[in-house]
Structure formats: C-alpha cells, structure tokens
Structure 1
Amino acid sequence: MSIRAIIVDDEPIARHSIARLLREEADIAVLAEFGDGASALEAIRRLKPDLVFLDIQMPELSGIDVAASLGEEDLPATVFVTAYEQYAVRAFEANAVDYLVKPFSRERFDAMLRRARRRLAGEGGQASAQVWQALAELRREQGYARRLPVPLDGSVILLDVARIDWIEASRNRVRLHVGKETYELRETMASLEQRLNPRYFARVHRSAIVNIERIRAIHPWFKGYHMVVLTTGQELRMSRYQHETFRGLARFQERTP
C-alpha cells in the first residue's frame, strides 16, 4: 500500500525534516509541503491525502482551524505537530491520533509511523470524540492573550501573561504585578479579564485577578470571605460573592502537591 502524505508546518526546518524522514520510507509518497494553513486546507480537499502532518500553532489559520474546517468525516489520518508538550498531552492522550513534539527523535518518529500505518490499515479507527473535544478546547484557547503590549520608558514590551502574579484594578487602568516589578496598562479590569484564559486566571475580587499557578494557599477569613495567599507572599481578599471562583480554586488546590 502506498501512503500519500502532505506536510503542513510554518517552520521550514521542521517541514523539511519530516519530509526527509518520510522519503526514506518506500511506501510513503510526499505529495506536497505547505507553510500555511489556508494553502494546506485547499490542497487537502483537492488531493485527498491518506496522511497529513499538521502543525498546531500557525499564524492566521492554525492546524486546529484546518482540522475543524475539514470536519470529522473529511479529516485524513493526521499527525499533529507541536513545539509545546502541554498541547499534545492534553489534546491527544486518548491515543486516537498521534502527535510529534518538536524536536523529536528518530525513535519517536518511527513509533508514530507504525501507529499511522495501523490506522490506515483500518486497525486504529477514527479520531475519538475526546480528541475532537480537545481540539475544540484548544481552538478556543487560541483566542486568549499570551502576551500583552505594555508601555515602558517610552517603548513597548511584550509581556508574557504567564509571568504575571496578579492584576490590580486602578480606575480605568490595571497594574500588572510581576515579581518585584509593576507595569501599568490602560485597560479596564473587565476587558482584560475577557482576554485572559480562565484556565490560568481567576477574578477573586472586583479589583483583583490572580494567576492560579501562583496561589500558595486559600484561608477562611470572616463573614464568608477568604484570603488568597500567593507564592510571593501577597495576600488578597476573595469576595464572598465569588462562590464559583472559590470552588474552582479549591479544586485546583486539591490537585496541587
């Protein structure tokens, strides 16, 4: 059986690396390589390959968008490629499809090909509902901010949101607390909250949003209030009206060793 493959990755080195390894396989023919999702989507629909190597993170139309556009019926056997381990683990631990985390070893690549061949021989079945659910979740997360443009000394820096410990409201501005540093951003608390991934950030008070991974403890206070203690030692009062937030943070604390 000859396997017809397409490679989609916006990084030329990664794309060519996969192509080189595939060309060493006698039963695999590389139909085309693409550096963007839009071109790849059109080619997949037109060429109908047996196997697609699809980069998850690409500008404009990502691999997740390509998969969603094709749908469950028309998506070929797909190996999702990512530079971020957490994407692969969360999305594909159901083992319905395979993935490669860049950079990958030859051993990992060979193991992936064995699974792909089994899948194409009809032994692996279709992508499971869990995988499609995970892809939909990752697609939603693409819309959340990963970096914020912050003015600093007449310039603008791009601040990784993962570095933020907590965020403080200050009228029509917010203060971003990052370790011993504080940055100001002209934005309302409500609008910034919408841009942050609720998996990692929680509003504990009308004037405070915390990075969940910076929480060290949650202590009961009085009259239904709780105190959130961060790893920096900062203490923040949690509003007694944030019941859902409290339950979510309590579950987080139970999972934290």
Structure 2
Amino acid sequence: MSVPPIRTLLVDDEVLARLALRQALAAHPDIQIVGECGNAHEALQAIAALEPALVFLDIRMPGMDGFKLLHKLKPETLPMVVFATAYGQHALRAFDADAVDYVLKPIDQARFDQAVARVRRLWAGLHVAVAPAGTAAPAPPPAHAQRISVRVGESMRIVATEDIDWIRADGNYVHIHVAGARYLHRETLSHLLETLDPQRFLRIHRGTLVNVDRIREIHPLFQGNAEVVLRDGTRLALSRRFRAQARQALGMS
C-alpha cells in the first residue's frame, strides 16, 4: 500500500509568510499544498471543504487566533498541525494542543525539514494502521534530527544534536545536557529515540541516552553493570541490559 501525498493547507495573515512556507515545502514533493488562507475564518471554511491532512498554522492573526481556530474544529475533522509563528512563548501551549511540531519564523530550512519528517512519520504510521491484512505501507525515508528546539524562558533555543552531551528521561519530558547547561524539553525519550541518529546516540540505561563522542572511559562494576565517564567528568550508569549494545557501539572487546 502506497502512502498518499499529504494534502496541506497554509494559514497565515501575511502573504510573505505563506510564500516562505511554500518555498520551504518545495523540498518535499510528498506535501501537496491544496490551499492558502489569510485568517482563521477562511481556514474554517477551507478545512471543511478541502479536508486537508496537514495545516501549517500561524498563531497571532487578526480576529480569531490559531488556538481558537483549533477549538472550533470537531475532533474527527482535526488535521495534523504544525504551528509556524514568530513568537516562541507559545510553544508549550502549542504542544498541549497536540501540535505535531512548532517552528519559528523566519524559517530555518533544517529545522523545518525536521518538522516535516515528524509529520511524515505520523502520516505513514496512520496508513500502516489502516492497511489491509497482509499488506504494509512502505517505511518513510530515514531522517535524523539535526536540531532540537528547547524552551528557555519566553524564547526558544535551537540546539544542534551533535552538541548534546547526554539526555535523561523524566516522564513525558527529558533533560537535555549541553556543555554544562540543562534544558527541560517536552518530549518523551522513546520519541527522541526515533529521531536521533543511532550512530551518534547510545542508550546506556532505560532512561539515559549519551552522545558516544562524549564518552571518555567505561568502568566495570559488579553484576555486569558499569559506569560511563564523559569527557567533562559526568558519571552515568551503564546497565547490564544495554552493555552489549555499548560494546558494539564503542568497539569494546
């Protein structure tokens, strides 16, 4: 079963912003733009008429904002949503609204591509779920995240994944450690595992990922466990469950 193109609606009150979205989407031929709207009232009508699978949605627009627009949609008609806005302070509220992703304007193509990759994985998963017995939808093309947006106060900071030292799970959040700084990020560790490069990030514990380039030493402990020492001196537990993976990834004998 083939995965159909993703019918997409662009909603932004600025013509130049919609043009920027079109230009960013030009690199993704599986995204089919079916319409544009300059305000939320037009978008309500367009969603009902065009039934898009995906909406790129601005937040601050004259009259009804992007969040109010989503509240007016019935759950069964709600498309996938990627917020595209100049205001980083709405990020947590956007994810509470079940947005697939949140990108800041002006658009950074690499960060935008990461958002599209998330949409594509979700879209492919939806079609796997409805595929007839004995058939399978083709896997989406692999795309490893190059950057992660983390909230810092009222703004969003872009962190290159190669700069991350290690990550620890905390329920539906993760703590991302970068050069001595720690960022709380609203994403589960299991979801991050789907987006990060497995050649770079190694799972050493049920709730811990580490950048293999940061590992300096491995100290064996009792009962098959071990301790990982990073270049900055951080010490992390390597559980016996993940030791075989660590041996292979680090070339341990």
What TM bracket, shorter-length normalisation?
0.3 to 0.5
Larger Rg: 1
Q: Which has the higher contact order (CA 8 A, sep 6+)?
A: 2
TM-score by length of 1: 0.45
TM-score by length of 2: 0.46
